[in-house]
């Protein structure tokens, strides 16, 4: 019988080409111009699950984009793994910064990926990492190594808040019943030091609009005499952080879990070079909340960032105008115990309260999600650790990620099971950025590691 | 012999249709996409000057857009009036706020313009006001009422800083020799209370760029750990005004002329209703520098306004990104004695100095110009006052405008003559905004008033 290593080697080219075909479809969920492509991607995922060996696959309609559900039930008495992933991708802009078109995947070598990496929007987040599970299933089915039942739930709105997925999960608890949820939508420290994400930050994403005069005005005739919505918006945004970069929204930190010195010391053990970090981003210095290290700032601390701002004349040349309106998209990363609905309310109340007279302010909540922490004593975590250890030959390190997968907290609430975050990407893979890529090594290593998780999970489950 | 009133009545329809044809050409000097249209407009202006009776008209090449020069010299011993205007217009965006397309002129009635107003970009600023002078010349030539020599200099880069005009003026002092410069590119208080602009603000226009990380980053993985260029730009912009809305740039106010209480009391006599002002703009309150009235804030005080800002994701939906770069276009209105080169330097030095470590800042000066004041005891001002008084039946009031015509200070320096600003627009004409318009009454009244200026100027010149 083939070992997984042999199987991956034998099918390497096909595995890469199948993923490349999937990456060619621009499934940008944030932009309705791509809606047909998002649907086409769902259908491609359905076909791939059938081909991989699911007994039953369906496209489930939702109020938004469909969810692809697939399953292979081999024995009702065996445990069930629910695989979650998403087939939608982030918008590709700014396009001019891509060295190759975002939806024309190419394999190029990089310093960190000497075997080459697939460059395309969604290569790592999340088509590539999701497709590893499809190919792992194919292997287990083809070689009779599937030790338990498996279910797939692949959604198309992760990049815009997973609204339809919550709707779907709330209505399909029985269908989605499982013993552990497996997700590959995070990263690891490096290709020589695997890690398992045990914490995720929550998210609150809002859009704000500041309105001054009822029309754009000549800045000469009105400049200095009316509130300029852009200047006002800048002042309001600036006031959201104090001189120590603490967030000034009243009540914002009330429920933030403060880690013990011991826990912080444990975290500090993860290999990290500030010099390399700054060099990779061409930064002369870092920046952030006083009293915390870089790794703490982007994992155990909540943050507030403007993700986009616009107003007035942004074209070529000069226009002496005072805009009627100015806008910003603002997101807050939250830590466990911060409730995103509550934070969104606190933000809205505060932001409206600091608007000076002379302007009106609107806050429109976009979406959000709760933070999450995986217990490292769960059999799911232990099975994942054994799997990485066997395929990489190194014990994985548990790490807290700064990112958010809003749906994970909902899974625990609705499906009563723990989520294991087996990520194979690297921070340098530029997800959400131009030139997103995913290492060929990482892709194949993921396919190789996943069946080991199934094996150890079922073993540990039986002795439980 | 026709009086000007009769002549205007008889030719009213044609005067309107000729202007409408000129307004159909989108001569947007700020956007190179329109460059052919700008050239076409110069040729249309040349043709109109020939038709109106100039003996000599030429398109003068410059490093930028051409200048249309025309003249009618009737007697070397008589004084010469130099008419200046511009045939370029502001960009029309935001297009969606126009009630009719900016380059498809239509005449619509408004509360302030019961006889109708021409709605089009450039209707008032400055094609409409410039064309009044062409039609006034036609009248004076057709009816043998031209009492002196006249020269026209109509440029195509006023909305982007008149760089080529300075170049042209410096090289053609002899050709442009004149006894008074006449410009209609300003407004008046109302159709029942004419006014003459005796002061203009200077301008310094810059574009700033803040760069953080070398690529867009995932706000979850990096949020809170690196300087976000948008948040930083907001903080820097916010810091440019203090809590009293004074500008914080060191040295900014050093040369600002402080008006005496007497002068301020004189200014305060101009009819002004704060309630009407707020109502016209749908503002619940005004805003501005502490210690000054609205009319002082937008005329005798320097200001700083952001005219445009952009960075990060501004499309539909949500994108959790930290942008690599953020940008703003910032303009400062200056008062007499403030040198725009010096202010641009002060701004640049200060803005670079307040950049926190973790970002780099670039300041790119766009253009600028000096402020200007017209002495009301000059014969030019007196002739203009008599002309308005006769055509409106009301004595005009001298006012300081908040706007800038950067070239006026240069005219005085290079051509050694005073500029008279005979404006016929209203503040409510929405120049630089969507739905710019120019009253039919104002257009025709301008054509009627201008020949009276010539008449009185020559009379006063002879007795001088």
Under a CB-based contact definition with an 8 Å cutoff, are residues A381 and A370 in contact?
A: no
Judged by CB atoms within 8 Å, which residues 336-375 of B form the interface with A? 356-358, 360, 366-367
Candidate CATH numbers 3.30.230.10, 3.90.550.10, 3.40.630.10, 3.40.50.720; the one for domain B4-200+371-463:
3.40.630.10
Give the distance from CA A313 to its chain's centroid. Answer: 33
A259 touching B (Cβ < 8 Å): no
Q: What are the distances in angstroms from CA B152 to CA B22, B48, B59, B192? A: 17, 12, 11, 29
Mean pLDDT taken over chain A: 94
- Tell me, what's the pLDDT at A199? 86
Question: What is the number of alpha carbons within 13 Å of residue B214 lying toward its C-beta?
Answer: 11
Which DSSP symbol is given to A160? Answer: G
pLDDT surpasses 50 at A13: yes
Alpha-carbon radius of gyration of chain B: 23
Buried (b) or exposed (e) across A221-250, using 16+ Cβ within 10 A?
bbbbbbbbbbbbbbbbbbbbbeeebebebe
Which residues are CB-contacts of A185 (< 8 A; sequence separation ≥ 6)? A84, A85, A86, A125, A126, A129, A130, A158, A405, A421, A423
- Per the CB < 8 Å rule, is B227 touching A287? yes
- Tell me, what's the pLDDT at B357? 92
- Per the CB < 8 Å rule, is B231 touching A90? no
Taking each helix axis from N to C end, the angle separating A4-23 and A35-52, rounded to the nearest 10 degrees, works out to 160
- Tell me, what's the pLDDT at B265? 87
B365 by DSSP, 3-state: which?
A: strand
In angstroms, the separation between the Cα of residue A148 and the nearest Cα of chain B is 34
- Tell me, what's the pLDDT at B1? 40
Alpha-carbon radius of gyration of chain A: 23
A401 touching B (Cβ < 8 Å): yes
Which residues are CB-contacts of A260 (< 8 A; sequence separation ≥ 6)? none
- Tell me, what's the pLDDT at A427? 86
Laid out side by side, the sheet with B325-334 consists of A360-369, A202-211, A325-334, A303-312, B303-312, B325-334, B202-211, B360-369
d(CA A330, CA B210): 18
The model scores a pTM over 0.90: no
pLDDT single digits (tens) A34-69: 999 999 999 999 999 999 999 999 999 999 999 999
Pick the closest to residue B199 from B370, B27, B16, B436 (CA basis).
Answer: B370
pLDDT single digits (tens) A263-276: 788 778 888 899 99
- Tell me, what's the pLDDT at A134? 98
- Per the CB < 8 Å rule, is B91 touching A161? no
Report phi then psi at A272, rounded to 5.
Answer: -160, 130
d(CA B246, CA B253): 9
Work out the pLDDT band at B318, boundaries 50, 70, 90: confident
- Per the CB < 8 Å rule, is B434 touching A215? yes
B274 touching A (Cβ < 8 Å): no
Q: A161, A207, A222: best mutation site toward chain B, by most B Cβ within 10 Å?
A: A222
A339 by DSSP, 3-state: which?
A: coil
Give the distance from CA B40 to its chain's centroid. Answer: 22
Judged by CB atoms within 8 Å, which residues 35-94 of B form the interface with A? 90-91, 93-94
d(CA A100, CA A433): 13
Name which CATH class applies to A202-256+302-369: alpha beta
Which residues are CB-contacts of A251 (< 8 A; sequence separation ≥ 6)? A346
Give the distance from CA A405 to its chain's centroid. Answer: 5
Tokens of A437: 């890529």
B-chain residues within 8 Å CB-CB of A323? Answer: 307-308
Pick the closest to residue B195 from B423, B449, B20 (CA basis).
Answer: B423
Give the distance from CA A88 to its chain's centroid. Answer: 11
pLDDT single digits (tens) A281-316: 999 999 999 999 999 998 889 999 999 999 999 988
Mean pLDDT taken over chain B: 94
pLDDT surpasses 70 at A226: yes
Cis peptide bond prior to B99, omega within 30° of 0 = no
pLDDT surpasses 90 at A234: yes
Report phi then psi at B6, rounded to 5.
Answer: -60, -45
CB atoms within 10 A of CB B305: 24
pLDDT surpasses 70 at A2: no
Tokens of B80: 């010469």
- Per the CB < 8 Å rule, is B298 touching A228? no
B244 touching A (Cβ < 8 Å): no
List alpha helices for A24-162, DSSP H: 35-52, 127-142
pLDDT single digits (tens) A354-406: 999 999 999 999 888 888 888 888 999 999 999 999 999 999 998 888 887 77
In angstroms, the separation between the Cα of residue B90 and the nearest Cα of chain A is 7
Judged by CB atoms within 8 Å, which residues 150-189 of A form the interface with B? 159-161, 187
B279 touching A (Cβ < 8 Å): no
Give me the residue spans of the domains in chain A. 4-200+371-463, 202-256+302-369
Pick the closest to residue B419 from B358, B359, B371 (CA basis).
Answer: B371
Tokens of B232: 């930083």
Under a CB-based contact definition with an 8 Å cutoff, are residues A181 and A411 in contact?
A: yes
Under a CB-based contact definition with an 8 Å cutoff, are residues A89 and A121 in contact?
A: yes
């Amino acid at each position: 019988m083939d070992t997984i290593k042999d199987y991956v080697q034998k099918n390497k080219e096909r595995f890469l080409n199948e993923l490349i075909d999937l990456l060619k479809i621009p499934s940008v969920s944030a932009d309705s111009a791509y809606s047909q492509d998002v649907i086409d991607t769902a259908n491609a995922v359905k076909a791939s699950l059938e081909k991989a060996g699911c007994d039953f696959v369906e496209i489930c309609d939702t109020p938004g984009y469909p969810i692809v559900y697939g399953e292979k039930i081999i024995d009702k008495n065996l445990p069930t793994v629910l695989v979650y992933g998403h087939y939608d991708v982030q918008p590709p802009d700014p396009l001019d910064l891509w060295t190759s078109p975002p939806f024309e995947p190419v394999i190029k070598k990089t310093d960190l990926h000497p075997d080459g990496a697939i460059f395309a929007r969604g290569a790592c987040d999340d088509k590539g990492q999701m497709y590893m599970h499809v190919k792992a299933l194919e292997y287990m089915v083809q070689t009779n190594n599937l030790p338990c039942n498996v279910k797939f739930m692949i959604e198309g709105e992760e990049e815009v808040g997973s609204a339809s997925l919550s709707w779907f999960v709330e209505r399909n608890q029985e269908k989605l019943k499982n013993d552990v949820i497996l997700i590959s939508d995070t990263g690891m420290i490096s290709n020589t030091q695997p890690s398992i994400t045990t914490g995720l930050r929550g998210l609150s994403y809002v859009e704000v609009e500041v309105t001054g005069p009822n029309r754009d005005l000549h800045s000469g005739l009105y400049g200095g005499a009316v509130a300029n919505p852009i200047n006002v918006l800048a002042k309001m945004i600036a006031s959201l952080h104090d001189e120590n970069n603490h967030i000034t929204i009243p009540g914002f930190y009330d429920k933030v879990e403060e880690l013990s010195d011991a826990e912080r010391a444990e975290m500090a053990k993860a290999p990290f070079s500030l010099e390399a970090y700054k060099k990779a981003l061409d930064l002369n210095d870092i920046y952030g909340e006083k009293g915390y290290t870089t790794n703490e700032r982007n994992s155990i601390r909540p943050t507030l960032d403007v993700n986009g701002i616009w107003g007035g004349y942004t074209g070529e040349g000069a226009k002496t105008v005072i805009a009627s309106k100015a806008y910003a998209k603002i997101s807050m990363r939250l830590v466990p115990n911060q409730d995103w609905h509550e934070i969104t309310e606190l933000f809205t109340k505060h932001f409206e309260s600091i608007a000076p007279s002379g302007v009106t302010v609107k806050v429109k909540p976009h979406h959000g999600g709760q933070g999450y922490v995986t217990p490292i004593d769960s059999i799911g975590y232990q099975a994942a650790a054994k799997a990485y250890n066997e395929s990489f030959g190194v014990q994985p390190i548990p790490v807290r990620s700064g990112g958010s997968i809003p749906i994970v907290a909902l899974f625990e609430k609705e499906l009563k099971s723990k989520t294991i975050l087996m990520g194979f990407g690297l921070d340098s893979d530029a997800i959400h950025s131009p030139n997103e890529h995913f290492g060929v090594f990482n892709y194949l290593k993921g396919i190789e590691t996943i069946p080991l998780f199934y094996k150890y999970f079922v073993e540990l489950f039986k002795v439980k």
